[in-house]
Structure 1
């Protein structure tokens, strides 16, 4: 079982930036939070540390209560190079445990804020409204996170995000035309270029979405 954070670690967690979850502390203290899955280290300079969704939960639950010192389960399948949790692409056969729960909403919000901070730190001009390099190499996950963060529901009754033969493009489908329009608006607001198309065989409408460059 993962040990609860110490009093010193809780102070670091509680002092994290409320919007991005960025942490301040000694290298040893921050590395210990990473081992406890309460923080992750950004892969690019200046290699800052940020709270994981579990770390955000510990902070929100507050210090002093029994739950405050016990971290929850680690975020689902985070890519090792980013620390971001797995966004729902709509390909999941059934809603996974916790779908639609307040905890999931917090995790999505934390992951989205972390991605915006990654944009700020890695885009040459510090832009938060334009996708970054990580998103261009993780197109499906990045698009799915933008959709889920905007409140669009993933499949089987909502969106489905998938790869396409085109470079730097994903396909987004939805069971209802109004859902497809909502997905287009969400992606455009997140800095993606979107166009609507129809499949010749079935006439199904879908979106092609690519990260905007400028």
Structure 2
């Protein structure tokens, strides 16, 4: 059985970027994570280090038998506002900084994972996290998400269609603004009408080229 990460390694893993998985630390710390298969060194400059799938699992797992002298890990995994959540994070300067940091991290992930270094179209992570990726683009652009007890604001939801999410926003002007934001973020967007309710909504898919 693989030994769990040391306390020092857990601190590095827990501090990894919530979107890209990029880790920072001393050369010795990063080399140790690579040796244990918890991180890898990207072959392209600036040769940053990123968590492997095993590293992500280690970050999500509960630490085992922590020392009383160790402070608990701060914070949780970042999640963009999809609209209508019951336990949504509060808005404010701290949340704004967190969202902007996650968006910049996502752009960096695009640059690092696309062969041509392009940042204007979604990457593989976004294609496997459609709702979160679309919601992050909207929240980072300043669109207000719907609150649990309100009809106003955007709501991003999964659909039966492959690689497509639905975005609903009761205000027509704000719905079109959401469409413009997603298109600028590299998504293909179409506006449709519910046959029975006549409510307008968006279908958005990550653009491939």
Query: The TM-score by the shorter chain falls in which range?
Result: 0.5 to 0.7
In structure 2, distance between residues paired with 1:103 and 1:71? 20
Q: Indicate which of 170, 173, 182 corresponds to 1:178.
A: 173
Aligned to 2:155: 160
Q: Where in structure 2 are there 5+ consecutive unaligned residues?
A: 1-7, 16-21, 52-70
Aligned to 1:91: 84
Aligned to 1:194: 189
Aligned to 1:18: none
> Would the aligned equivalents of 1:197 and 1:206 in 2 still touch at CA under 8 Å?
yes
Distance 1:90 1:49, change over 3 A: same
TM-score for the superposition, normalised by structure 2: 0.67
Residue 71 of structure 1, CA deviation: 9.7
Deviations 1:131-181 (A, max 9, x none): 000000100000000000010111132000001111100000012111101
SS state of the match for residue 92, structure 1? coil
TM-score for the superposition, normalised by structure 1: 0.66
Q: CA RMSD of the aligned region, Å?
A: 2.9
Q: Indicate which of 132, 153, 161 corresponds to 1:141.
A: 132
Aligned to 1:106: 97
Query: How many residues in Structure 1 have an aligned counterpart in Structure 2?
Result: 160
Rg larger in structure: 2
Residue 31 of structure 1, CA deviation: 7.3
Residue 182 of structure 1, CA deviation: 1.2
How do 1:197-212 residues align onto structure 2 when only pairs under 5 Å count?
197-212=192-207
